[in-house]
Amino acid sequence: MFHKLKIDKNTELPAKFNNPFCYTPHPLCLAAADEVRNYIAMRTDWHNELNQGKMFGVLVCESASGEIGYLAAFSGNLAHSNNHPFFVPPVYDLLNPQGFFKQEESNISAINHRISELQNSEEYQNLVDELRTKEAEGRQKIDAFRHQMKADKARRDELRKTAIDKETIDLLIKESQFQKAELKRRERDLKLQLDGLKEKVDAVKNEIERLKQERKQRSFRLQMQLFDEFRLLNAKGEAKGICTLFAQSPDHPDIPPAGTGECAAPKLLQYAYANGFRPVAMAEFWWGESPKGEIRRHGNFYPACQGKCAPLLRHMLIGLDVEENQHEKEASRNHQPKVVFEDEWLLVVDKPSGMLSVPGKVSEVSVYQWVADNYPDATGPLVVHRLDMATSGLLVIAKNKDVCAMMQRMFEGREVAKKYVALLESRGNLSESESGKIELPLAPDYINRPRQKVDFENGKTAVTTYKVVSVGNDSVRIELFPKTGRTHQLRVHCASIQGLNAPIIGDELYGIRSSRLFLHAEQISFVHPLTKKSLTIVSKAPF
C-alpha cells in the first residue's frame, strides 16, 4: 500500500498540509500522481470502466522510519471490488459478500424483483386492460343513453306545447321517470361490474405500494447502519461517525448523501492514521470521460467535494497543520472597488477579482460592505446584481431601495446588456473572428457545491453569445454576452464539452487554477431608470 517515492535529498517537504478544498498540487503529489496514472494505464482490464470516468487520489506521507512515499485511492469501487493491492482499502468494505450490506442488499433486490413481477405479470396487465376497456365501453353506453334521454325530453317538451289530454301527459311523465330510473340502474350495474375488477387491480397495486414502502424503509435503515460502520479518524486519534459529523455541520443536511465516506480523500487519511503514516500533502485527479452534465477533464486535479467530504474532512484534518483556504483568504483581503460612474441615484464600480459582491459566510469584506461604509445615507439592498468573487468588472449599485427595485426589474426583463472579456485555454477548437450562441440549461451540482452542471431535464435556461477576438498559442481572447444571468453561466458555457470546450484560464472549478480567473465584466449598457438617458459604461479588462 505504501509506495516509496524516489526524491532528491534536497527536496523540501511542504511546511503545512495543503487544504484539500483549495490547493495547487505539490511536486511530490505530481510525481505520485504520475506513478498512479502509469499503473492504471497498464491495467487494460480496467480500461472500459475507467474511460467512463473516476476520481483518484494520492497522499504523500512519511513513515515511522522517516521514509517518504505515497498512498493511492479511488472513489467508489473499481471492477466491482473495493480491494486492490495497489490502493488503500475502504473505510468499510460494503461489497464484502459476508457483510450485512450485501446480505440486506440481496433482500432489497428480491423486493425489487417481486415489484417488477407484479407490475409486469400477465394476469395484472389483463386485469388493467379489462378494467380500462369495460369502463370505456360502459361510459360510452351510458353517454349514448343520456343523449337519447335528452332527445326524448325535447320531444316531450314539444308535445306538451300542444293541447293533449291528461292520459298522454301521464304517459310522458312515466316515460321520463322510467328513463331516469333506467339511467341510475345502468350506472349502478356498471359500478358493480367495475368495482369487482377495481378490487382485484387495487389488491395488486396495494401490494406493490406496500413493497415499495418496505423497500424504502429497508434502504434507509441499511444506509444508516452502513454509516454507523464508518468511524473516521483524525490526526489526534479521535474517531467519529458519519452521521455525527453531518449533524455537527450546520451547512449540510442531517442525513448524509449515499456514497459518503467512499471518496478517495477520506480513504487515504483513514489508512494513514490507522497505520502510523504522517500526512504530508494530498491531491485528487480525474481519469476518463466527464460525467453527464458535469465538467471534469482527464488528468486535471480537483478539490475535495463539498457535499460528501466537507463535514468528514473538517474532522479528519484536526491535528494537522493545514494551509488556509485561499478562497477565504482572498475574501478577507482589503480590496477597494474603483468608482467608474456615479450620480445621485446610481453607482457603478469596477470590482477587483477576489472580492465578494455581498458578505459571505467567512468574510464581511464585500462591495456591499464597502458601499455601506462609504455611503452611509444609501438605503435598500444596494447591490443590484452580483459577480462571482473571482470575476472582476462592472457592478451596479443603487443608492436607494426604489432605484434598486427598478434596476433589478430591468435585469430580470433583460433590458441590461453586458459584455465580458475572457482568456480561454487554447485547445485549437476556436478560430479567429468566430462567433455563435451557446444554449445549455444549468442546475446546481449539490454534491460539488458551488459547481453548476448542464441539466436538460431540471436546469434553467441559460443563453450566451460570443465572439472570438484573437487566437494565440497559449490562450484565446473572447467576448461573451450573457442573455441570461445564471450562476457560473459563462464559466460553464466555456468549459463544457457541449459549449466551447475551452475553460476560462484560472477557473479552478471547471479548468486549472492560475494566478486569477481571467474573466472581466468590461461593459454594461442600459437606460437610466430616472433620467431615461442611454448609458454605456466601460472598464477595460486588466489582462
Q: Concatenated DSSP letters for 285-352?
A: EEESSPPTTS---TT-EEPPPHHHHHHHHHHHTTTS-BPPPHHHHHHTS----EEEEE-SSEEEEEEP
Tell me the C-alpha distance between 281 and 10, whole Å: 17
Count of structural domains within the chain: 4
> What is the H or E stretch that residue 468 is in?
strand 463-471
The CA-based dihedral angle spanning residues 265, 267, 272, 273, taken in that order and rounded to the nearest 10 degrees: 100
Domain with 440 in it: 414-543
**Do 248 and 219 share a structural domain?**
no
Tell me the C-alpha distance between 1 and 277, whole Å: 11
**Do 510 and 454 share a structural domain?**
yes
- Alpha-helix residue ranges (DSSP H) falling in 455-535: 489-495
Tell me the C-alpha distance between 504 and 523, whole Å: 18
For 497-524, b where at least 16 C-beta lie within 10 A, e where not — what string?
Answer: ebbbbbbbbbbbbbbebeebbbbbbbbb
Q: Is residue 237 part of a domain?
A: yes
**Do 143 and 127 share a structural domain?**
yes
Cβ neighbours, 10 Å, residue 529: 18
Of the three residues 209, 226, 243, the one that is the final residue of a domain is 226
Tell me the C-alpha distance between 173 and 184, whole Å: 17
Q: What is the DSSP letter of 332?
A: T
Strands (E), 183-258: 231-233, 239-241
Active site residues: 388
* Contact yes or no for 478/467 (Cβ under 8 A): yes
Q: Locate 148 and state its grid cell.
A: 337519447
| Backbone dihedral angles phi then psi of residue 294, each to the nearest 5 degrees | -90, 170
Which comes out higher in pLDDT, residue 411 or 252?
A: 411
Q: What mean pLDDT is reported for the chain?
A: 91
* Contact yes or no for 522/541 (Cβ under 8 A): yes
- The conformational region for residue 191 under phi > 0 = left, psi -120 to 50 = alpha, else beta, is alpha
Tell me the C-alpha distance between 185 and 208, whole Å: 34
Predicted confidence (pLDDT) per residue in 206-241, tens digit: 999 999 999 999 999 998 888 888 999 999 999 999
- pLDDT for 158: 84
**Do 235 and 220 share a structural domain?**
no
User: What is the pLDDT confidence band of residue 328, given thresholds at 50, 70 and 90?
Assistant: low
* Contact yes or no for 494/485 (Cβ under 8 A): no
Q: What is the DSSP letter of 117?
A: H
Which comes out higher in pLDDT, residue 129 or 161?
A: 129
Tell me the C-alpha distance between 287 and 56, whole Å: 7
Write down the residue that cell numbers 466551447 correspond to.
500
For 366-389, b where at least 16 C-beta lie within 10 A, e where not — what string?
Answer: bbbbbbeeeeeebeeebbbbbbbb
Mean pLDDT, rounded, for 100-121: 92
Q: Is residue 103 part of a domain?
A: no
Q: What angle do CA 253, 329, 310 make, to 5 degrees?
A: 25
Predicted confidence (pLDDT) per residue in 276-320, tens digit: 999 999 999 999 998 888 889 999 999 998 889 999 999 999 999
Tell me the C-alpha distance between 383 and 408, whole Å: 9
**Do 429 and 536 share a structural domain?**
yes
- pLDDT for 54: 96
Q: What is the DSSP letter of 81?
A: B
Tell me the C-alpha distance between 152 and 34, whole Å: 90
Q: Is residue 367 part of a domain?
A: yes
Q: Is residue 113 part of a domain?
A: no
Cis peptide before 279 (omega within 30 of 0): no
pTM for this structure? Answer: 0.75
pLDDT at 105 over 80: yes
Q: Locate 251 and state its grid cell.
A: 451547512
Q: Is residue 152 part of a domain?
A: yes
Q: What angle do CA 263, 267, 268 make, to 5 degrees?
A: 115
**Do 523 and 421 share a structural domain?**
yes
**Do 309 and 238 share a structural domain?**
yes
Mean pLDDT, rounded, for 157-180: 85
Q: Is residue 8 part of a domain?
A: yes
Q: What is the CATH number of the domain that holds 432?
A: 3.30.2350.10
Query: Which candidate, 423, 93, 392, 111, places its Cα nearest to that of 261?
Result: 93
**Do 311 and 246 share a structural domain?**
yes
pLDDT at 332 over 60: no
Write down the residue that cell numbers 471534469 correspond to.
296
Of the three residues 413, 436, 468, the one that is the final residue of a domain is 413
Q: Is residue 101 part of a domain?
A: no
Mean pLDDT, rounded, for 502-518: 92
Tell me the C-alpha distance between 457 and 311, whole Å: 29
**Do 514 and 537 share a structural domain?**
yes
Q: Locate 451 and state its grid cell.
A: 459547481
Task: Work out the percent of the chain whose per-residue pLDDT is above 90.
Answer: 71
**Do 404 and 341 share a structural domain?**
yes
Q: Is residue 112 part of a domain?
A: no
**Do 156 and 177 share a structural domain?**
yes
**Do 147 and 85 share a structural domain?**
no
